[in-house]
Amino acid sequence: MNNKFVKETLDWIYAIVLALVIAMVIHIFLVQPTRVSGESMDDTLHNGQYLIVTKWQHIMRDMPDYGQIVIIDSRVNRERTWVDDVKEPLMNYVSVIDKSAQTNDVWVKRVIGRPGDTLEFKDGHVWRNGEQLQEPYTKDTTMNYSRSTPVVVPEGHVFVMGDNRNHSSDSRFIGSVPVDHVLGFVEYAL
C-alpha cells in the first residue's frame, strides 16, 4: 500500500512537471497570452484587455509589416539572449502569484517604420518617406509632438508608436527597436 501511494505521487509530480515544460515551450516558441497594461494603444486596445501573441516570428526574426501590432522589449540598448526568451514567460507565471514579478519592459505598439524609411513628425501627423500617413486607428486626430529633424530607421530595426499618440512612450523616446526585440505579433484581442 505504501509503495502504491509513492508511485501514484511520483506519477502526479511527473505529469505536472511535464505539463509545465510543454506550456513553457509553447509560450517561448509558439503562442503567448498577455494583457494590455495602460492606455497607450487606446482606442484600438484597452487597459486590461487580453491578447494572443504569436511568437514564431520572433524566433525567425521576421520583419513585421506596416500597421502590425507587436509586443516589444523596450530595453533597446541592451542585447537580448535566449535567457530573456525563457525568463519572460516564466515571470508571467510567477506574476500570477507575486505581483512584484511583473515587469514594465514589454510594450504593445504599432509598426510605423521599417528599415530605410524616413519618418517626420510635423503638422500633428506622421510622415513616412514624404507622405502623410492616413491613420484612422489613432485616438486623437492630431499629435502633440513634432521634431525638427527626420528619423531614418536603421537596417534590422522598426519604428513603433502607440495609437494613443499623445499618451504613449514609444520609439519617439526610446529610438528604433531591433527586430530581435520584437517579441511577437498580436493576432487576437479578447
Ramachandran sector of residue 67 (left: φ over 0; alpha: ψ -120 to 50; beta: rest)? left
- Give buried/exposed letters for 43-57 (b at 16+ CB in 10 A, else e): ebbeeeeebebebeb
Long-range interactions of 141-149: CB distance < 8 A, separation 24+:
145/121, 145/172, 146/121, 146/122, 147/120, 147/121, 147/122, 147/172
Give dist(CA 43, CA 40) in Å, integer: 9
149, amino acid identity: T
For the record, the C-alpha cell of 67 comes out as 500597421
Which among 28, 83, 54, 61 has a CA at the least distance from the CA of 180? 61
Return the active site residues. 40, 109
